[in-house]
Amino acid sequence: MSREVARAERDALVEDLTSSDEELRHLALARIASWPREAAEGHWLSALGDESWRVRKAAAEQLGLRGDSESVREGLIAALADGENPGRRNAAFEALVACGPLVTSRLVAALEDPDVDVRKLVVDVLAGLGDPAARVPLCDALGDADPNVRGAACEALAVCGGAAEAERMLVVARDDAEELLVRLSALRALAAIGFPVGVAALGSALESKPLRPAVLELLGASMDDQATPVLLKALADPSPSARDAAARGLMGRMARVDGGAATALEREIRSVFRSEEALVERLGERLESAPLSLRLALVPLLGFADDPRAARHLLAVGRDEALAELAEAALVSLGEAAAVELEARWPSLGFDQRMRACGVLARIRGPRAERLLVDALASEDFALRCRAARAIGEGGFAECLPTLVERLERAARCDEPDEQEEVAAIVDGLVALAGHAATRASGFEVRLVAALSSRLGGAPRSVRWAIARVLARVGSDRDDDLLGLLLKDEAEEVRRAAVDALGRLSFDRARDALRLALVDESVRVRIGAAELLGASGRREAREPLVGLVDDGDPRVAAAAIRALARTLRDGVVDLSALEAVLKRVLDGDALPALAAAELLAAVGGPRAARWAGRLLDRDEPQVLRVAVGCIGCHGDDDDVRRLHALIVHPDWAVREAVVQAFVARDDPAALPVLRRQLECESDAFVRESIRSAITRFEG
């Protein structure tokens, strides 16, 4: 009965394969994939000629997976010869490419087919495969009787060819007796490979108008010094296609040289722009409609024009995200010419253009750039003000210091979120200004601090806070008096920012000033002081940190312990010196206890594991996880045995930590415990960890 049912299903599928319903045919092709190969292949090959593109595509996908079958290979090659059904040919083409190198040898044999259309399609498939094994046969195809096959062979060798094949194509490109189409294909293939060809080696191709654009683009990869004057001359050619190719070629050469050679080439390009006044507009107009590949060459080329008109075109193309960064670099290359155009067009520029222009002006520098940035700093748009503030710092415009400080004070007086973001931007700008090469040796930091301190008298809280933030980025030992004043400020956020600024001082200066912060009424200030002491990594920081462990606020105590851990990373640590601290915190509040557990895990060693054992009776899962990890890595067998009871802890993360501790110890004695827990473990993640641990111990 079952055999009869199977036969009936098979017959129904065969009927569906010839149904007038496209969807039935499409579904049937997928279902016959379960048939024996020899039974299904014929149906797939037949479906290559189906009137529905969906059916043809499905058949091609199935056949593309079966390139190891001789009958599939032969059927696909035969389909290429179907001159009546282009859909079948195209589907066979796709399937052959999907088969990969498995079909290369059969395709090579088909290069001898008497049908020129088959030979052309075979070459195209070999191009799609890109198999280096086809190089020699494709070179032989350069001598095919049909020019279309010869041209296609060049295109295929552009994909899979090497130096030897390039030499053969150069012969084709130089051959005056060869068809122009084939010579053009050879030149384009050489350019795609990046094969270096000298001017003299190109023969008459350089003088042929149809071939000249391809020759010029090819010369971009040439190492021949004579290629440069040829490309420079072609840049002013009346033919748009020649100019396009020259642009690509020149930028190709620019990418291949550096140092003095790059400078010399840039100088020669600028000279062409000066001598050909109409060139900027020609290239600029072409930039508006050119494909992306050409625009990628035209944009940097216009950067060498030394002409404000080039800036206008670059500003317009900068709206394209794919070209924005390249356009900005080209504007910077224009230098003062770009600044002139930006100044003239500034009122009409859109918001995005002004934002990008700020970055350009920072790199161009000069009085005109400074004026525009100061103008942007007074904009009604806070985002533009922020960008201008940062750009002033990036450009090292030292004379803008009073303007920036004034703007800082004005923004700090406002409590709006936008204004606070502007404060951050101005602080960034002032810091960048202080670190710029143009200001570093001029005592600028002294001027900056003097300008800030002059604003302190009677300043509102927000201004004092902003000043402290700047000092946190540029302060030094000479500013300790000013910081001492800020550490006594009535506002908590000012004192907290002043503590951050102490990190700029030498440790001895900072330690003296920190005495105020360590006893500050604000928890945030005391935590900041602890973090600063820890960041120093100095042994001398341990004593004040140990004292801070007894702070009445557990958050401060935890910060002090974590900071203390950072000072213990400079060598072997004797935990006996910290016994008094550990005794006080291990049985106390959760936050200090967790910090102490982290300290013990960081210090490590048997003594740390024993101290961590005192935490196993606590309830907090976070504390237990850290303590268990410490014992797993550093404890002895007795310490690890204490973990057995925690395998049933209510928190899954604690149970997981116990399993990992057993694994870290490589402790087979834990096997019975793990097996028992596996029977009742409810968490899938922990259950998988237990299985993995059991497998490891049993293996």
Residue 19 φ then ψ, to 5°: -65, 155
- pLDDT tens, position by position, 499-532: 888 888 888 888 888 888 888 899 999 999 999 9
Q: Model confidence at 215, in pLDDT bands (50, 70, 90)?
A: very high
Q: Determine the Cα–Cα distance for residues 428 and 425; give it in Å rounded to an integer.
A: 5
**CA-CA-CA-CA torsion for 577, 583, 584, 586, nearest 10 degrees?**
120
Question: Among 149-153, 205-209, 538-542, 690-694, whose mean pLDDT is lowest?
Answer: 538-542
Asked whether residue 183 is domain-assigned, the answer is: no
DSSP string, 579-625: HHHHHHHTTS-HHHHHHHHHHHHHH-SHHHHHHHHTTTT---HHHHH
pLDDT at residue 148 in the model: 96
- pLDDT tens, position by position, 368-383: 999 999 999 999 898 9
Asked whether residue 419 is domain-assigned, the answer is: yes
pLDDT at residue 493 in the model: 87
Asked whether residue 375 is domain-assigned, the answer is: no
Place of tokens 């001492």: 484
Tokens of 180: 């122009």
Q: Determine the Cα–Cα distance for residues 370 and 391; give it in Å rounded to an integer.
A: 10
Q: Model confidence at 418, in pLDDT bands (50, 70, 90)?
A: low
pLDDT at residue 3 in the model: 45
Residue 478: domain span: 382-505
Asked whether residue 224 is domain-assigned, the answer is: no
Tokens of 114: 């008497």
Asked whether residue 409 is domain-assigned, the answer is: yes
Answer yes or no: are the C-beta atoms of 319 and 288 closer than 8 Å: no
Instruction: Give the dihedral sign, CA 76/77/81/87.
Output: positive
Q: Look at the chain and report how many structural domains it folds into.
A: 1
pLDDT at residue 572 in the model: 47
Asked whether residue 427 is domain-assigned, the answer is: yes
- pTM score, two decimals? 0.68
Q: How crowded is residue 251: how many other Cβ atoms within 10 Å of its Cβ?
A: 20
CATH number of the domain where residue 485 is located: 1.25.40
In this prediction, residues 275-300 reach a mean pLDDT of 92
Q: Higher confidence at residue 264 or residue 441? A: 264
Q: Higher confidence at residue 640 or residue 187? A: 187
Closest to 635 measured CA to CA, from 592, 674, 670: 670
Q: How crowded is residue 348: how many other Cβ atoms within 10 Å of its Cβ?
A: 7
Q: Determine the Cα–Cα distance for residues 307 and 317; give it in Å rounded to an integer.
A: 16
Q: Higher confidence at residue 419 or residue 257? A: 257
Q: Model confidence at 2, in pLDDT bands (50, 70, 90)?
A: very low
Answer yes or no: are the C-beta atoms of 537 and 567 closer than 8 Å: yes
Asked whether residue 135 is domain-assigned, the answer is: no
Tokens of 169: 């194509």
Asked whether residue 490 is domain-assigned, the answer is: yes
End-to-end alpha-carbon separation of the chain, Å?
A: 49
Q: Is the pLDDT of residue 434 over 50?
A: yes
